[in-house]
Amino acid sequence: MRPWGVTLTLYWCPNCNVPLRQRICSRCGGEGFKVNISEPGDARPAFASDLSLIREAMLYEFGSDALYRELIVDGAVYLNKTPHYDDMKEVISGGTIVGRLYFDPSTYAWRWRLNKVSAPIALDLGLIRAFKVGKAKPLMDLGPGDREGNQAVVIDNSGEPVALAVVRRGRYRVQTVFKEQVGEIIRKPSSFNLFEKCNDLWVRSRLSKAIKNLVMMAEKTGLPPVVSYSGGKDSITALSLTMEAGLEPVILFNDTGLELPPTLKNVDDVAHKFGLRLLTASAGNKFWDSVNIFGPPAKDYRWCCKVVKMAPIARIYKKYFPNGLLAIIGQRAFESVDRSRSGAVWRNRWLPAALNISPLQEWDQLTVWFYILQRRLPVNELYFKGFDRLGCFMCPAGNIAEYYMVERNYPECWRRWEHVLIEWKERLNESDLWIRYHLWRWLNPLSQGRRRLESWLGIKKPSDWRLLYERVSGLSLAPISLSEDHYRIRIINGQLSLDSICEQWSIIADTPPEKVCSNNPNDDCALTLRKSGNTIIVRPNEVEVQGPDARETAFDVLKIMVRWSKCCSCGSCEIWCPTNAIKVKEGRPVVDPRRCIGCKACIEACPIAEVFTERLLIPQLLNNPKGRPRRKHSFILELQRSARRARSRKARKAELTLENFPDFLDLGS
């Protein structure tokens, strides 16, 4: 596991019963003690819905909420996410971690995991059993009514709790040995409203730095400010900070067609409250149309981002901000390991028009929530219904607990997605477990995350990855590599149209294709093309390349043939073509060879080429379910070079203007 690039230490003021982000409390001057929460230390306040889930978990676990009444201190309960195969949060009450709230996919229930603080209390309340065992007896037999996941306390000869045992595979087994020293639960009434007074220096430093960075970047670049608004807590904070900095931004909302109703309502409410212009990058029904082509998106098969996010946003950028923009984004370092290693200013290679800045990069959730509640910002109501993460309600990066919350609160939304899964389950010949445990979240059935979950669920037989890829794609391929400079791809089940080459030849060749037919009427005609020393021969069921770059050229030919037959009409190729040479006509990409400069930007931007083909077809050719390592696209650089080449050669030859070249592509050498 990659280490976090940033972490925070959580302290606790024993006098005010409030979390601290620095050791000394600004309100009482007392010294806080350290709370050993899991990295990166991004705790948040527990809301009424969270407390309801904690109570629900304890009722399920013990048949009583007596433990809830003993552990929960009003106004002093906080949650911190911790690693788990699904969803688990450390529960901090009165300055002490009193246990963990987690979702159990096998029972579809929220459950409670005891720790050194709560286990003795549960034992005293008669909620669990106790075992006195030594090293010679690590396993304990079940009693009447014991079930998978039940808990018991392991005590030593003096009656002191030393470990927690959990039922696994028909036996109590030691789960956790109690080693750490824990303090007492502080019972003093408290409130999150005290957070600012107790953390005055921390809050003021984060606030002033965020506003300063926004003002400096806006003045330095002179670009129009645009707040990328998702309907989430971080984006409403970023928007409010932008207003505090004296800027008047445009609000940009990406409507993927997969947002829950409260998010759509929140976007309208926020635009109205702040009186700002709202631009919507809408994907319409594109996801629901495209899923029939691609299959369900997955953690390792994220075609959806290009179709419902990148393309609609790029279209808005190109239309309204041709000279660039300052995109203000509510991104925080504590959200993921990748973001913890990202800077506060960056460019996305697919959206180079925008210079992105995150004023919240160093903010933790406690600071964000204080800012929201103190200023009474119109935050999305989903946060108070038990949702941690907003966005596409069936995002493959989510966990089963999130899907469960969607199904419980918005069943009509979930049923639509479930119908899609049922159709694909039948098409792929998967079992009901594929849907129940959301195994569709991984394309590669040998992925570590999927195998870990299957192992926990007792699913022992791995799926045949090659058969799965063939069923998803509808194509079966085999390579015939004769030598380093001679590569052939055989399409086993089906054919691809030669029209795909006739309409797109200028991307991969210097001259138009030559059609060659034999005297045998049973033989397919072939097209011959040439490019940079490569000779390309294409038949409906075969691609053959001879030359110094045979394999990569064959892959490119395959990509443009597949996208011709599978085109989802997302428009990505049109958006990113620097010379406006490609158009999607009646669901087919057609290239104007007079304008095309062969930069292959349309291939890199195309989700059929760079996701569908790379993840489903090229793995078959490489005999590796992972395919090849994620390539570093030279996308922006190639567009710049293409633009310069067009100025000096292609534009003059075809008497074209350069008005189709976005100014933002000229980023320098």
For the record, the structure tokens of 630 come out as: 């994620």
- Between 365 and 629, the more confident residue is 365
Q: Where are the alpha helices (DSSP H) in 361-432?
A: 365-375, 400-409, 411-428
**Locate tokens 């509640």: which residue?**
373
Q: Is the pLDDT of residue 439 over 50?
A: yes
pLDDT band at 438 (very low <50, low <70, confident <90, very high): very high
| pLDDT-wise least confident of 255-259, 347-351, 428-432, 507-511 | 347-351
Structural contact between residues 330 and 230, judged by C-beta atoms closer than 8 angstroms: yes
d(C-alpha 294, C-alpha 398), whole Å: 19
pLDDT band at 303 (very low <50, low <70, confident <90, very high): very high
Handedness of CA 308, 311, 312, 313 (dihedral sign): positive
Q: Is the pLDDT of residue 643 over 50?
A: no
Residue 589: beta bridge partners?
A: 584
Give the start-to-end residue ranges of the domains of the chain.
Answer: 118-181, 199-387, 404-463, 473-665
118-181 CATH choice from 3.40.50, 2.60.40, 3.30.450, 2.30.130: 2.30.130
d(C-alpha 112, C-alpha 103), whole Å: 9
Residue 167: beta bridge partners?
A: 172
d(C-alpha 496, C-alpha 499), whole Å: 9
pLDDT band at 461 (very low <50, low <70, confident <90, very high): confident
d(C-alpha 17, C-alpha 26), whole Å: 13
d(C-alpha 583, C-alpha 502), whole Å: 14
Q: Where are the beta strands (DSSP E) in 455-557?
A: 477-483, 486-491, 514-516, 526-531, 534-539, 542-546
d(C-alpha 495, C-alpha 505), whole Å: 18
Helix axis angle, 365-375 relative to 233-244, nearest 10°?
60
Q: Is the pLDDT of residue 502 over 90?
A: yes
Q: Which CATH architecture has domain 473-665?
A: 2-Layer Sandwich (3.30)
> Which tens digit of pLDDT belongs to each residue from 514-565?
998 876 666 678 999 999 889 999 999 999 999 998 999 999 999 999 999 9
Query: Do the domains at 118-181 and 199-387 have one common CATH topology?
Result: no
3-state secondary structure of 250: strand
> Which tens digit of pLDDT belongs to each residue from 20-30?
999 999 999 99
Q: In Å, what is the CA distance from 573 to each residue of 115, 585, 658?
A: 55, 12, 18
* Neighbour count for residue 480 (Cβ, 10 Å): 12
Q: Which CATH architecture has domain 199-387?
A: 3-Layer(aba) Sandwich (3.40)
- Between 446 and 639, the more confident residue is 446
Per-residue confidence (pLDDT) for residue 644, from 0 to 100: 46
Per-residue confidence (pLDDT) for residue 522, from 0 to 100: 60
Q: Looking at this protein, which amino acid is placed at residue 202?
A: W
Q: In Å, what is the CA distance from 536 to each residue of 206, 507, 511, 550?
A: 59, 13, 11, 9
- Between 296 and 342, the more confident residue is 296
For the record, the structure tokens of 130 come out as: 């106790």
Asked whether the bond before 40 is cis by omega within 30 degrees of 0, the reply is yes
> Which tens digit of pLDDT belongs to each residue from 218-252?
999 999 999 999 999 999 999 999 999 999 999 99
| pLDDT-wise least confident of 152-161, 233-242, 371-380 | 152-161
- Tell me what the mean pLDDT of segment 151-157 comes to: 89
- Between 457 and 415, the more confident residue is 415
Q: Is the pLDDT of residue 40 over 70?
A: yes
